[in-house]
Amino acid sequence: MGLPHSTVHAILQASELQPHRIRTFTFSPDPDFLAKLLDIVGLYLNPPENALVICVDDKPGIQALDRTQPLLPLCANKPRSWTNEYVRHGTQTLIAALEIATGKVLAHIRNRRTSVNFLRFMNEVVRAYPDRELHIVADNLNIHKNEALRRWVGRHPGVSFHYTPTHASWVNLIECFFSILSKQGLAHSVQHSKQDLKDLLTHFLHSYNNTCQPFTWTKGPEKLQHIIETTKDYQATHPRKPRRRRAKRTKDDSIKN
C-alpha cells in the first residue's frame, strides 16, 4: 500500500485487529454435545445437596527432563538460562481428582496409565469422601468407561459418572489444574531421575493443597449460547460418518488366507 509502518500500526490498533495472533479451536462432533454440556455445567453451577462434584483425569507421559550443561542462574538484567539440549530419564503418569468446592486435589503418581491403576485410584477417592454422594466428571478415555469401570460403579451406588462431550476437554475443570501444574511446577524444573520427578510432583501437590481455592465455573447456558449454536451449525454441515466395523475373522478364514 506504500503506507508508513506507523500508519499501518495505528489503523490496526484503532480497529482492534491483531493479525499476528492465532487461536485454536475444535468443534465437538458428539451428537449429544448439548445434553452433556448442560449436564456438567448444571453440576458446576448447582451441585446436588450433600453431594460433591469431582473432576477426574489422567496426565500421562510427564517427562523427567535433565539438561546436558549446568544452568546459568538469574542475575541483574539476565533471566535464568539453560541449554536447549536435554536428556530424558523416563516418564510418570499423574491421575488426579479435583474437588471443585475447595480446589483440593487428590492424586496418584504411577508409571503407566492403566485400567487397574485408575480403579485403584477411584477406590482412594471413595475412601477420601465417605458417606458422600459423588458426581464424577470425566472424559471419554476407554479406561474411564470400560466394562471394568461399569462393574466398579455397580458396586458403588453413591458414585455417578458424567462424561464430557468428545473433543471438549475444556468442560472438565481438572484441565485448569493441569495447566497450573505445567506452568508453575514443571516448566522451570530439572530432574535427574524418575524419582526426582515423582518427588517434585508430590511436593507441588502438597504445596498446592495448602493454598488452593475453590474452582468457580462462570459461564451459564446463556454465555455458552454462541458455542452451542456454532457447534450445531458445524455438525449440520459436517454429518458424522458411521464407523465401519471390521468383520470378525473365523478360524476357517485364517486358514484360507
133-138 and 159-163: which strand pairing?
A: parallel
Beta partners for 75? Answer: 78
- The whole-number pLDDT of residue 57 equals 96
Cα pseudo-dihedral 177, 178, 179, 182, rounded to 10:
130
pTM for this entry: 0.83
Strands laid side by side in the 133-138 sheet: 105-110, 86-99, 51-67, 133-138, 159-163
- The whole-number pLDDT of residue 246 equals 63
- In tens digits, the chain (257 residues) has pLDDT values of 899 999 999 999 999 999 999 988 888 999 999 999 999 999 999 998 889 999 999 999 999 988 888 888 888 888 888 888 888 989 999 999 999 999 999 999 999 999 999 999 999 999 999 988 999 999 999 999 999 999 999 999 999 999 999 999 899 999 999 999 999 999 888 889 999 999 999 999 999 999 999 999 988 878 888 889 999 998 999 887 766 666 655 545 544 44
C-alpha cell at 139: 472424559
Residue partners of 65: CB distance under 8 A and separation at least 6: 86, 87, 88, 89, 189, 190, 191
- Domain boundaries of the chain, sorted by first residue: 33-69+82-214
User: Any idea which residue has 468446592 for its cell?
Assistant: 101
Long-range contacts at 64-73 (CB < 8 A, ≥ 24 apart): 64/88, 64/89, 64/90, 64/91, 64/92, 64/191, 64/192, 64/193, 64/194, 64/196, 64/197, 65/89, 65/189, 65/190, 65/191, 66/190, 66/191, 66/192, 67/190, 71/190
- The whole-number pLDDT of residue 116 equals 95
51-67 and 86-99: which strand pairing?
A: antiparallel
Fold held by 33-69+82-214: Nucleotidyltransferase; domain 5 (3.30.420)
- The whole-number pLDDT of residue 254 equals 45
Burial of 74 (0-12, 13-18, 19+ CB in 10 A): exposed
Geometric angle at alpha carbon 86, from 82 and 91, rounded to 5°: 125
C-alpha cell at 134: 459423588
C-alpha cell at 240: 458424522
Q: What are the pLDDT digits (tens) for 125-156?
A: 999 999 889 999 999 999 999 999 999 999 99
